[in-house]
């Protein structure tokens, strides 16, 4: 499917398409943002993306997670993923007796 403002093609199955441009050398301060560790990143300069068009499919889905100080969404998912990853890790590393992703830390115990 052809974009509106340029000659690029995007997948027809795309949920949301942002069209725009980046001027070489143009930057702006960005941040601070809370990250998954519960701390804030410093303000830093990043390239500016100027949006010229936004299109979306009907009933588009925007995927996102809430990230900030634990317990946040990734921390809760980490606890749930223990059920999936521990058996896989123990098959690869039989000497691994405990591996757990808690909300604020990771604990690894080798036999």
Helix, strand, coil share of the chain (percent; to 5): 20, 40, 45
Which one from 35, 44, 59, 72 is the annotated catalytic residue? 35
Known catalytic residue at 35: yes
Residues 6+ positions from 52 with CB-CB distance below 8 Å:
5, 19, 20, 21
Catalytic residues: 35
């Amino acid at each position: 499917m052809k974009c509106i403002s340029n000659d690029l093609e995007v997948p027809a199955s795309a949920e949301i398409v942002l069209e725009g441009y980046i001027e070489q050398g143009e930057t702006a301060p960005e941040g601070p943002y809370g990250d998954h560790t519960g701390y804030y990143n410093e303000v830093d300069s990043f390239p500016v993306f100027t949006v010229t068009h936004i299109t979306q499919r009907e009933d588009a889905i925007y995927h996102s997670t809430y990230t900030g100080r634990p317990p946040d969404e990734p921390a809760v998912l980490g606890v749930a993923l223990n059920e999936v990853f521990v058996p896989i890790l123990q098959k690869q590393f039989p000497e691994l007796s405990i591996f757990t992703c808690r909300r604020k830390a990771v604990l690894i115990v080798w036999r």
